Amino acid sequence: MNREKRLQIFEKLSEAIPEPKTELNYTSTFELLIAVILSAQATDKGVNKATAKLYSIANSPEAIFNLGEEGLKEQIKTIGLYNAKAANIIKTCRLLIDKHQSQVPQTREALEALPGVGRKTANVILNTAFGQPTIAVDTHIFRVGNRTRIATGKDVLEVEKKLIKSVPGQFLLDAHHLLILHGRYTCIARKPRCGSCVIESLCEFKDKTES
């Protein structure tokens, strides 16, 4: 895909999605971090339901740590993999208190050193909380990148690297949410909604007969 076509794609996506932002609810960087950790293999809707309950009683590293692992499990048990997530979150809170003055660190290295935080989660925090031009490639972005041919790759890291190189500079900060929201509501996994897609004429997806 050439540079001009990519530019047109992101221009159209930004017009269709004028406020590209996460659908996770949060009021602080710490709340965002916990929500993103919880969102692995879970829906944003499900996470928001759980965090509304959790944050009403504990929304700081100290408060969540004081709940203890069992207490935290009780608050997030509606979310998949809640046992492992609770264990990681308690460990993360301990590290934030001990090593970061209860603040979420602003570097990839420090973020990825937190239990339950991998490259994708770190990218979300760096982009959404700290305004860095990172792209967290989830299943939606991986699908959109490969299907449209904006950025193809056999794994998420390959797609991420290609997106960072190929997304027009003026859209790099918002590309993460533009692509996620497009994949979540239009370029869906089964039967993509090509007929209502604002970039259909620019997309290089070959099998539109199923739409």
Task: Please give the positions annotated as active site.
Answer: 120, 138
- Are 179 and 145 a contacting pair, CB within 8 Å? yes
- Residue 177: CA atoms inside 13 Å, Cβ hemisphere, count? 21
C-alpha distance across the termini of the chain, in Å: 22
Question: How many angstroms separate the CA atoms of 1 and 116, rounded?
Answer: 36
Which residue type, as a one-letter code, is found at position 89?
I
DSSP 171: G
Question: How many angstroms separate the CA atoms of 186 and 40, rounded?
Answer: 21
**What are the two backbone dihedrals, phi and then psi, of residue 207, each rounded to the nearest 5 degrees?**
-105, 75
Question: How many angstroms separate the CA atoms of 121 and 192, rounded?
Answer: 26
Residue 53 makes CB contacts below 8 A (sequence gap 6+) with: 75
Q: What is the sign, positive or negative, of the torsion defined by CA atoms of 61, 63, 69, 71?
A: negative
